[in-house]
Amino acid sequence: MKEDIYKKIAYLFDRYWDEDLSEEEQDLLYDEADNFVSQYSWKEIFPQLFQFLQQNCKTPKDVLNFAHLYWDYGYYEIPILDPYAFLGYFYYRLGFEPGSNDDMEIVDSLATEMLKKSGNSDADLFLNPYYMPESDPQMIAAANKYK
């Protein structure tokens, strides 16, 4: 079963997020991403998804591509136990310096939404409009664990 899960993850994430797809192709892909979560439990999927990220996304371009696809599939809506460990990998690969990467908005959006979904009210921009993942001590510590 683990092999089936990993193959599906590779199918969903081994593509460019902005590739030209017809509306039908895009809908089919999003349906497959939804059905994947219905077919297997998130508890089975997420560890392998995280493993795929770490093994296959070593460059800023690859990490950003993964982030966009994760967002597009709506997976950020699913709470995870340790969002800092997952999100820290993105910041480890991309850095924390302002302007270090022009496309950090997607990672910042993932961070604020995932942290909020996981119960971190500090990341709720409605309650704390000045929250920035790049200055969150827990995020910095999580990214530093990968060094």
The span from the CA of 9 to the CA of 24, in Å, is 20
Distances (CA, A) of 108 to 25, 31, 94, 145, 146: 28, 26, 11, 19, 19
Q: What is the model's pLDDT at position 136? A: 94
Instruction: Please give the average per-residue pLDDT across 115-144, as a whole number.
Output: 91
What φ, ψ does residue 63 adopt, rounded to 5°?
Answer: -65, -45
| Residue 117: partners with Cβ closer than 8 Å, 6 or more residues away | 76, 77, 78, 79, 83
Q: What tens digit of pLDDT does each residue of 77-109 get? A: 999 999 999 999 999 999 876 555 557 889 999
Q: Where are the domains of the chain?
A: 2-144
Q: How far from each other are the two terminal CA atoms of the chain, in whole angstroms?
A: 32
Q: What is the model's pLDDT at position 98? A: 54
Global confidence as pTM: 0.91
The span from the CA of 99 to the CA of 80, in Å, is 28
Find the farthest-apart pair of alpha carbons in the chain and give their distance in angstroms, rounded: 43
